[in-house]
Copies of this chain bind each other. A is one copy, B any other.
Amino acid sequence: MVRISLDVMGGDYGPEVVIPGAARALERHPDIKFVLFGQEARCIELLAKHPKLKASSTFHDCEIAVGMDEKPSQALRRGRGKSSMWKAIDAINADEADVVVSAGNTGALMAMSVFCLRTMQGIQRPAIAAIWPTLKGESIVLDVGATIGADAQQLMDFALMGGAMARALFEVERPSVGLLNVGVEEIKGQEEVKEAGRLIREADVEGIEYYGFVEGDDIGRGTVDVVVTEGFSGNIALKAAEGTARQIAEYLRAAMSRTLLARVGYVFAKGAFDRLREKMDPRKVNGGVFLGLNGIVIKSHGGADAEGFAAAIDVGYDMVKNGLKAKIEADLARYHGAQPSEAVPRA
């Protein structure tokens, strides 16, 4: 059984997407047990439409829904202890859930997660890891925006956590890890990145294979399983790639509808286009993962539809099934010489 808590009010659509999304994920993974946190009045009818989901879940009424444009500090002040977002996260502390999924606003979700779950022993900063489709399959890219800037030690921690996530998700024994940089010329490269390279190489960690520096175009090429960078450039890379994919989809649409011949061709090649659309479907890779906290938090895109939200739940499910948290703790403990966080009293 995998216990998943959901912030039902999160995202642009709230319960209208989260409840049918959960129902879809349950079809695929009948061993999920959901713990739902939402405003009962907005959820009760929707839930009645999904009797299987209703049967495999417990529902908790919450006073407050965190707004999509609330600032993190405001969300914390208003929603601490009583919002659906906070309570969904806190279900991990109460040992009612193994993972939490929310489509709520990233800043608020991160602030509440840090506040509520605290960072793991030895970790100064959490990271957001994205699952990035590549020519070879999928890679993990972190940090894509949890915090701005990172020193060499923090990049080293990202490498460890990303490596553990790759082992949990991709079933590779020793995932390759690259540090994002801008070429190999002498005048180039941030000091922290160079220093992180030295740290990772010298640590010679069992769970990862250090590849060296990679550049922006190596991400989509799938050169390494895990791409490590600080949050500013990681976020810019992610958004630039998303923007390019949308841009080309737009070009393609325009090209295929301009002439009669193109439209005829489109009809013949429809199957191929459908497969391409599926490959490019952002819903299929929906779900950033917050790493470095005492609990796994999955952030779904705010604008995701039910299928997108279900995909985010799938990611959380896989993480729990494959013991992500224990893997990270073991790696960190080995590297930092610290104890797994369970043994450590919370600050």
Contact = CB atoms under 8 A, between A and B. Distances in A.
Q: Determine the main DSSP class of A at the interface with B.
A: helix
The interface centre, meaning the residue of A236, A250, A251 with most chain B CB atoms within 10 A of its CB, is A236
Contacts of A182: 145, 148, 231-232, 235-236, 239
A256 B240 contact: no
Interface stretch (A95-103, A170-178, A203-211, A264-272): A264-272
Given A261-B272, A262-B268, 4 more contacts: A221-B243, A252-B276, A256-B269, A259-B272
A216 interface: yes
Number of copies of this chain in the oligomer? 2
A4 to B, nearest CB: 26
Interface in A29-62: none
Interface residues on A, range: 35 or more
B259 A271 contact: yes
A148 B148 CA distance: 16
Interface of A: 71-73, 105-107, 110-111, 133-135, 145, 147-149, 180, 182-183, 185-190, 215-221, 229, 231-233, 235-248, 250-252, 255-256, 258-259, 261-262, 264-273, 275-276, 279-280
A256 B268 CA distance: 10
The 10 closest A-B pairs by CB, nearest first: A216-B239, A265-B269, A265-B268, A217-B243, A220-B243, A262-B272, A107-B185, A216-B240, A220-B247, A255-B272
